[in-house]
Amino acid sequence: MQGLDPLQLISIIELFIATGIALVLSAFIFKKYKEKPISGTLIFTLNFILVGIALACVAIDRILLLYLLDPTLGLIFHNIAILVSLGVILLLDIFSFEMTYPDKTKKLTVLFAILLVAAGITLLLNQPTLGAQQEILYADELLILILPLLMPPMIIPIFIFFYYAVMVRKESIPKSNRALVMGIATIVVSIGYIFEVMGITGIAVILVRLTFVAYTFLMYIAFTQPKWFQKIIGTENL
């Protein structure tokens, strides 16, 4: 077992905090789904369950690699996190298609699924290395190949959140502001996700994994709408 690295320890705590928020949020959204079954609500329920699983797997792979010195099992959890995170992205894409082009959802889902599967297979077939602080790193050439596959599926939900915010601005400022918060949250987590895939060391581990806490927290308040948040975005209960 290695000595406790304070930066890694803080980042692991961040991952578990984000995991907890995501799972609590999934339970809250599922309760709403049972009250009023809507496909979008079900999508977000599944989405945050997968978010929680992916983040937990990253935290576990950190513990295995840093403190239990089990690279084989650590890489298994790392690969699980990759596959589950791709499912998270695809669910957000499906929600976006349902919001904008419901009649083309199946075709667009297949197209974006192909991109994500290609990215996942490419990562799984290439053995990463362990860098400083036992962080998992991929070759730069591989990242150059992966990013074009990941970017389109990741950008679509961001665009839809902001598009929706603009479209409903005249009708409902609270709904518009809520969509803006969700769009900002998705930008934040997308940046963190890209850096996580690229590999991070040093103080960056805290900053990058803090984006996961920020994402889950922003999404939590967007869905649960505490009173202080309603005062910020408007008094209408959405």
pLDDT of residue 170: 87
Give the 3-state secondary structure of 25-76: HHHHHHHHHHHCCCHHHHHHHHHHHHHHHHHHHHHHHHHHHHCCCCHHHHHH
pLDDT of residue 125: 87
Domain ranges of the chain: 6-233
Other C-beta atoms closer than 10 Å to the C-beta of 28 total 16
Using the predicted structure, report yes or no on whether residue 2 has a pLDDT greater than 70: no
**Tokens 């599926």 label which residue?**
153
pLDDT in tens, 190-209: 999 999 888 887 888 899 99
Q: How far apart are CA 70 and CA 53, in angstroms?
A: 20
CATH 1.20.1070 fits 6-233, yes or no: yes
161 class by beta-carbon count within 10 Å (0-12 exposed, 13-18 middle, 19+ buried) = buried
Q: Which residues contact 233 (CB under 8 A, 6 or more apart)?
A: 173, 174, 177, 178, 181
Determine if residue 200 is left, alpha or beta; phi over 0 gives left, psi from -120 to 50 gives alpha, anything else beta.
Answer: beta
**Tokens 């650590």 label which residue?**
74
Share of the chain above pLDDT 70, in %: 97
Using the predicted structure, report yes or no on whether residue 11 has a pLDDT greater than 70: yes
Of 26-30, 86-90, 127-131, give the lowest mean pLDDT range.
Answer: 127-131
pLDDT in tens, 51-91: 999 999 999 999 998 888 888 899 999 999 999 999 999 99
137, 199 contact by CB (below 8 A): yes
